[in-house]
Chains A and B, each alone.
Chain A
Amino acid sequence: MAKMMTIDELRAILVDCAGGDDAVLPGDISAVPFDELGYDSLALIETAARLRLDHDVLIPDEEIAEVRTAGELLGKINDRIAV
C-alpha cells in the first residue's frame, strides 16, 4: 500500500503552489477554511495539478471546487492513495 500523505506534506505543496509559509500557516491548518488561509480557487486548481502530475493523485475539478479545508483535501488525497 502506498504511503499516506501527511498534513505537513500537503502544507508544503500548498505553499509551493500558492504561497504562505509557516509564519502565516501556523499550527494545525487542517480545519481552517481555505479562504481564511487566503487560498482561492486558482490556488486549489494549481494544487490539484501538482497532485496529479507529481504525486499521481487525481482529484476531479468538480471535487476540487467543493473542498473547503486542507483536512478535507488530505482526506480525498489519502482515499485515493489507499485504493
Chain B
Amino acid sequence: MSVITGLGVVAPNGIGVKEFWAATLAGRTGIAELDRFDTTGYPARLAGLIRDFDPIDHLPSRLLPQTDTSTRLALTATQHALADAEVDPAGIADYDMGVATANASGGFEFTHREFHKLWSRGPAHVSVYESFAWFYAVNTGQISIRHGMRGPSSALVAEQAGGLDALGQARRMIRGGTRLMVGGGVDSAFDPWGWLAHLSSGRVSLDPDPATAYRPFDAQASGYLPGEGGAICVLEDAAAARARGARVYGELAGYAATFDPHPDTGRPPALGRAARLALADAGVATADVDVVFADAAGVADLDRAEAAALRELFGARGVPVTAPKALTGRLFSGGGALDVVSALLCLRDGLIPPTFGTATVPAGYGLDLVLGEPRQVAVDTVLVLARGRWGFNAAVVLRTFQNRS
C-alpha cells in the first residue's frame, strides 16, 4: 500500500501548502497579465503566474546558472515536500528512494536563451548546462542528485495527464519494493517563444478578463489559461510510514491510464474508462466517491465530454465535482499533481474547494459543480481526473488512511 506523507506546492496562487490551500478556499487567483516580456501584438496575455519567487531564497546559488525556472520550482517543491513529511533522506538507504516526475515542456526558457545565443552569436556561446537543463528528465535527475536518491527513477511526458501518471509510476515502484518515492510534476514555459507555443494549441482563452477567461464547465467557457508550477509529493510504503510514525495525508488507492480512440472512429473518449479502472483498482464503488476533481478543460466540447463521462459513472448530479485549477490555470505536468494535493487537503479538512469564475453550468451537463463557497462534507474517497491533449487520460483514487489501517 502506498501512502502520501509529504506535500510541496509551487502554484500561481501560493508557494507552500498553507498559502496555496488558503488561497484555493478563499478564491485568491494566480491569474494575471504576463509581464515578463512585451506582449503587444499577442492575442492573449493572461496566465497563471508565480510571482514573488526569488530562487535564491530557496536554492543554493550554485544551482542557479544550470537550471531553468521550471527546475528551480521543482527543486523547491521537493524540498518543501520532504520537510513536510519530516523525512531526512540521509537516514534512508539510497536505493530505497526514487524519483518519478512528469514534464511537459522541459527547461524551455533556458533552451530558448541557448537557441538565441547559438543563432545570434555562434555555437561557442552555447552554455555547458544546455545539454541537461533542457531535457525532460532534468527535474528527476536534479532531485535525485540533491537528495541522494538512487532508487528507480524516471520522467514521463503526457501533457496535462503526466502528473497523475508520475504518481502512478511512483506507486508502481513502491509496490516493487522501493520504500520512498518523490513524485509529481512542475512546468513553466513563459518566455516569448514558450508563450507563442502555448497559443498555438488553439485552446487558450482570448478573453482579456482574468475573472472569466478560464471558467471550466461554464456555458460561456472560452478556453483555458496556461499556468506554471505544480506539486511534488512524498509517497511511502504504508508499513514504513507507519513504522516511523509519519503523518499520512491519504492512500494512493487507485490509478489507471487510458487513451482515447482516434477521433475519426467516432467512438467516445476513454476518460470514463480510466476512472472506472482506477476505482476498480482501489476496490471502491462509484457510490463511495465523495468528490471528483475534474480535468476541467474550459473548452466547451471537452467540458461536455467530461460531464458526460461523469454522468455515466455517477448519474446526473450524482457526486460533487470541482475544479480549483480555475485559480491557477492549467499547469501541464503540474496540474494533476496539484489537484492531488487539493484532494488530500479536502480529505483532511472535509472541505471541497469551489470552482471560481464559473457562473452558469449548462443543465444538460448534469453536474453538481461546487461553486461560490467551499462545501463542508465528510470526505473519505476522492477521484482525481486529468486529460492530456491528443487523448491521454489518467485517474487517481485517494482515500483516507486511518479508516482502513
Contact = CB atoms under 8 A, between A and B. Distances in A.
- Asked if the two chains touch in their complex, CB atoms less than 8 Å apart, one says yes
Interface of A: 15-21, 24, 38-39, 42, 45-46, 49, 52-53
A19 B61 contact: yes
A18 B129 CA distance: 10
B65 A16 contact: yes
A52 B129 contact: no
Given A19-B61, A19-B63, 17 more contacts: A15-B61, A16-B65, A18-B62, A19-B60, A19-B62, A20-B62, A24-B60, A38-B60, A38-B62, A42-B128, A42-B129, A46-B127, A46-B128, A46-B129, A49-B128, A52-B124, A53-B125
13 contacts: A18-B65, A19-B61, A19-B62, A21-B61, A24-B60, A24-B61, A24-B62, A38-B62, A46-B128, A49-B128, A52-B124, A53-B124, A53-B125
User: Which range contains the number of B residues in contact with the other chain?
Assistant: 10 to 19
Given A42-B129, A46-B129, A19 B124 contact: no
Contacts of B129: 42, 46
Interface of B: 60-66, 124-125, 127-129
A20 B125 CA distance: 21
Contacts of B61: 15, 19-21, 24
A44 to B, nearest CB: 9
Nearest to A38: B62
A36 to B, nearest CB: 12
A51 to B, nearest CB: 12
Contacts of B66: 18-19, 42
**Which secondary structure dominates where chain A touches chain B?**
helix
A49 B62 contact: no
A32 B61 CA distance: 18
Nearest to A52: B124
Contacts of B62: 18-20, 24, 38-39
Contact of B124 (A15, A20, A42, A49): A49
Contacts of B127: 46
B65 A19 contact: yes
Of A18, A24, A49, chain B has the most CB atoms within 10 Å of the CB of A18
Nearest to B63: A19
A38 B129 CA distance: 16
Contacts of A45: 128
B65 to A, nearest CB: 5
A65 B127 CA distance: 17
A29 to B, nearest CB: 14
B65 A46 contact: yes
Contacts of A21: 61
| Closest A-B pairs by Cβ, 5 of them | A19-B62, A19-B61, A46-B128, A42-B128, A38-B62
Of B63, B124, B127, B128, chain A has the most CB atoms within 10 Å of the CB of B128
A31 to B, nearest CB: 20
A17 to B, nearest CB: 6
B65 A17 contact: yes
Contacts of B128: 42, 45-46, 49
A42 B127 CA distance: 10
B55 to A, nearest CB: 10
A17 B64 CA distance: 9
A20 B63 CA distance: 9
A10 B164 CA distance: 46
Contacts of A20: 61-62
A15 B64 CA distance: 10
